Amino acid sequence: MPRSKTLLEKFSMLVSANLSELVGPFTERPKGGIPVTVEGYIRRIEREIYGIDKAAHEMISQVRTMHDRLNSYERQARELDRAVDMHLTRGNDAAALLAQKKLNRLQPRLVRTLDDIKEWESRLLVLKEKRDRLEILLTDAKQKEKTQQNQTGAANARPIYWVID
């Protein structure tokens, strides 16, 4: 009877599969692939990281704007809620009703802004994860470059990555 794999073996196999999936497209020659030297590959990764950083910066700015808008809506909601209470305690039902209507119109915008913030923050998290994966690939490529230079010299740089444009 075959023995079942331990949790550690299963985890190890999963990690190996994920690393192969991450690095595979760059180490195997795909159909229509273009050979790239280590230096070219490093430059390509650095450009990708720069693009991610630029996009993340713009997204962070957008999220800050949305937070400001949310704070404004929350402040308005508190003021309207106080106005409703004040008008009700003074017996001014018409003014209380008007303030309540304004508050009711404000609530959907507040909720929509909250949802937008959550969505943008999740997008930022995805960008961060992609950037982290690229940093790992960059570190690996720089190590390969150093190893290649030590073994063959910089003049004999040969393509070791295949990239589809």
pLDDT confidence band for 144 (50 / 70 / 90): confident
Query: Tell me: the pLDDT tens digits for 49-67?
Result: 999 999 999 999 999 999 9
Of 13, 104, 22, 117, whose CA–CA distance to 63 is shortest? Answer: 117
Instruction: Please name the residue that has the structure tokens 């693009």.
Output: 51
How much is the pLDDT for 125?
93
Reply yes or no on whether the pLDDT at 74 is more than 60.
Answer: yes
The residue extents of the domains of the chain are 37-149
**Any residues with CB less than 8 A from the CB of 119 and at least 6 apart, and which?**
none
What is the per-residue pLDDT for 165? 45
pLDDT bucket at 33, cuts 50 / 70 / 90: low
- The CA angle 86-89-95, to the nearest 5 degrees, is 55
Domain 37-149 bears CATH identifier 1.10.287: yes
DSSP state of 91: T
Percent of the chain at pLDDT exceeding 90: 53
Mean per-residue pLDDT for 84-90? 94
> How far apart are alpha carbons 111 and 88 in whole angstroms?
26
pLDDT at site 1: 46
Tens digit of each residue's pLDDT (9 = 90 or more) over 109-123: 999 999 999 999 999
Q: Which residue in 111, 107, 108, 83 sits closest to 97, CA to CA?
A: 83
Cα–Cα distance measured from residue 32 to residue 18, given in angstroms and rounded to the nearest whole number: 24
Q: How far apart are CA 44 and CA 42, in angstroms?
A: 5
